[in-house]
Structure 1
Amino acid sequence: MQKTSIEIKGSNFTLLVLYLKSNNIDLINKSLYKKVQEYPQFFKNAPIILNVSHLSLNQTSWGRIQEVIISHSLFIVGVTGCSDDYMKKIIINSGLPILLEGEKIKNITNNINQNISFFYKKYNCENKNDKTTKKTIKKIEKTHIINTPVRSGQKIYAKYSDLIVTNNVSAGAELVADGNIHIYGSVRGRVLAGANGDITSNIFCTALFAELLSISGEYWLSDQIPLKFIGKSAQIYLSNKVLTINSLS
C-alpha cells in the first residue's frame, strides 16, 4: 500500500493577539515601535493574530495597517473581529484568513452537532460520530511531570492536564498546560496555563523570572510583573478576568 504524502492533524500553538484600538496609522506605528524595542528578540518574526473589532476599516486603511505591522518584523497569520462582509473579502484577498473566535466556533459546532443528531434520529441510524465526539472531549484527569531542565527552544504541552516541572526552565523555553502549572525551580521562559480556556487555572513557581505569564489568554510580559515578585515564590491566577499575583513565601 502506498503511503500518503501528507497528513493533517490538530495541534496547539500559542499565538499573541494584537488588538488595534485606533485607526491612526502613525499612532499604531509608534506604539508598535516602542513595544518591539522593549523585547526585540521576543517579537522578531513573531506570528500574531490581528484583532480589528475596535476599528472601522476600509480598503486603504487595511492596506496601510498591514504594511505597518509587517514593517516591524511581525507576521500576521490571521485576522479576527471583522464583522463587515466587504472587508472580510478584502482581507481574504490580501492573503490572510478570517479566524472565528472561541464562542462563534462553539456555536457553529453546536449547530453542526444538532443537525447530525437530527439526521440520525430521523433515519433511526446509529450516530458513530457521537461516540467519537464524547471520547474526544472527555477531560483526562492526570498530571504531566518533567524532572529534567527545560532548555531554550523546548516547548512542553500538557493536554487536558496539569504540568509539574521539578527543575529549571531556561529563557526561550515554553510551558503550556490546559490545567495548572507548577515549577519547582527558576523559570525564565514563557508559562501559559489554562490553554484550553480554563480561567480557574493557576501558575505556581519558586523563583520567578519569566518572559511571559499567561492564564486563559490573559498575559503579562516580564516588565508587567511587579518587581517585588521577581526571583520570588509566587502564585499567578485570574481574579475577575484580571491577572493577579500573590507571594508564596
Structure 2
Amino acid sequence: MGISMSNQNQSEIQIKGIREGLLVTVSDGKWEDIQNSLLLQIQEKEKFFKGAKLALEVGIREMHAAELGVLRDRLADRDIGLWAVLSSSPVTEQNAQVLGLATKVSTPKAERKIKTPDNTIPGENAVFINRTVRSGFKVLSHEHIVVMGDVNPGGEIIAGGSIIIWGKCRGLVHAGADGDETAVICALELAPMHLRIANYFATSPKGKGKPQPELAKVVNGQVVAETWKLKAR
C-alpha cells in the first residue's frame, strides 16, 4: 500500500515497497519543498523508515549532482540509504551515476499463465471398508463399495453400484442392487458363496484352479467372470 502526502505547494510524495526496499516517487514542484516534505514525513514515521533502502523516482526532473548528494547525506543522517535515482532525464541519470547511485530497479516479471486442457475425470461416491468382513457382518450401501480386506463365508456385501474387494471374496456379494446391470464385482480371488449383479445370479464353480484377480460382469444376460486387468480406457 502506498503512502501519499501533499504540502502547501501541492507537491506530492508517494511511497511504496519494492523488492529492494522503498520507492519514493515525487511529482513536479520546487525541489526544496519536496525534499523538506519527504524529510518531514520520515521524521513523523521514524520507526517505519529507519534502516530502509530508498530509491527515488523523479520523472523528467533535471537534478544536479549536488542536490542528489545533499539528499543522500540528509537521509544517511536518519539511517536511510539512498541507493538509486530513477529518471527519464539523461542529465539526472548521469549525475546519479557519478555519485555511484543505481539508475534502474528490478521489476518482478508477470507470472506466465499456462492454459492446460481440462483432463479431470469425474469421480463417484463409494463406501470404503478398511477391514475384513467376517461371518455375520453385512455392508449395505446405495453407492459403490470398496473393501480393503477379505469377505469371509457368511459375510455380505450389497451395493447399489460396483464392488471392489482387495482380497479374497468368499461370502455373498450383490452389486447393482438397485437394478444397475453395468455394475461389476472385482476381487483378487473371486470364489463367492453367492454372487449377484442386478437380477442376474452366479455361483463359483468348484475346482477353479489357481486363484487370480477376476472381474464379474453381465454380458448378454449372463454373469461372466474374466481376468481382472488394469487397462486404459
Higher Cα radius of gyration: 2
TM over 0.5, shorter chain? no
Structure number with higher helix proportion? 1
Structure number with higher strand proportion? 2
- Which TM-score bucket, shorter chain as reference? 0.3 to 0.5
Tell me the TM-score normalized by structure 2. 0.43
Tell me the TM-score normalized by structure 1. 0.40
